[in-house]
């Protein structure tokens, strides 16, 4: 995991018990799972729209997509933290999948298809 993500995950953990008046992350935890899931869904939709709007050689549309994906990753990390799922488990899962072709893995799951 990059240092930036690792540091962000540490900050998110610390913010769970912060004052909602002074912390957006604490506010999300305070508002509960449904609010956090609403934000994840909203950011996923905004990511899709930004991806569809991406124009070659257009720095601002590229930056818009980068911003939306950052929002999506951030809110996904808050969701994992709220549910007590260690973000490193996701990285371990991706590591476990490294080198395994998605097509081969799918075929081994559903050999008849
Ligand atoms: N990376 C982020 C980050 N990315 C996005 N956001 C916030 O996520 C929110 C989502 O954007 P929206 O435009 O959807 O927000 P909105 O319309 O105001 O949201 P709603 O009214 O719909 O709830 C904005 O308020 C952004 O500021 C973030 N807020 C915090 N962080 C990190 O979390 C740390 C702790 O933040 P606090 O808990 O606020 O101290 C910060 O130091 C940052 O490192």
Q: Measuring from atom 16 of ligand 1, which residue has the nearest CA?
A: 39
- Check residue 1 and give its pLDDT: 58
Centroid of ligand 1 to alpha carbon of 24 (angstroms): 6
CB atoms within 10 A of CB 68: 19
**Ligand 1 site, CB within 6 A:** 8, 11, 15, 23-26, 71, 74
Which residues, given as ranges, of the chain have pLDDT below 50? none
The chain-wide mean pLDDT, for the chain, equals 94
Instruction: State the closest ligand 1 atom to the C-alpha of 35, by its place in the atom list counted from 1.
Output: 23
Helical packing angle, 59-82 and 24-31, nearest 10°: 50
**What's this model's pTM, rounded to 2 decimal places?**
0.92
């Amino acid at each position: 995991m990059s240092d930036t993500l690792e540091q962000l995950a540490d900050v998110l953990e610390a913010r769970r018990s912060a004052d909602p008046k002074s912390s957006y992350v604490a506010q999300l935890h305070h508002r509960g799972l449904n609010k956090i899931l609403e934000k994840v869904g909203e950011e996923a939709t905004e990511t899709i729209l930004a991806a569809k709007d991406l124009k070659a050689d257009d720095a601002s549309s590229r930056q818009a997509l980068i911003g939306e994906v950052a929002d999506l990753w951030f809110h996904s990390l808050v969701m994992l933290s709220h549910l007590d799922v260690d973000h490193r488990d996701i990285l371990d899962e991706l590591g476990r999948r490294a080198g395994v072709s998605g097509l081969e893995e799918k075929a081994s799951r559903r050999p008849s298809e």
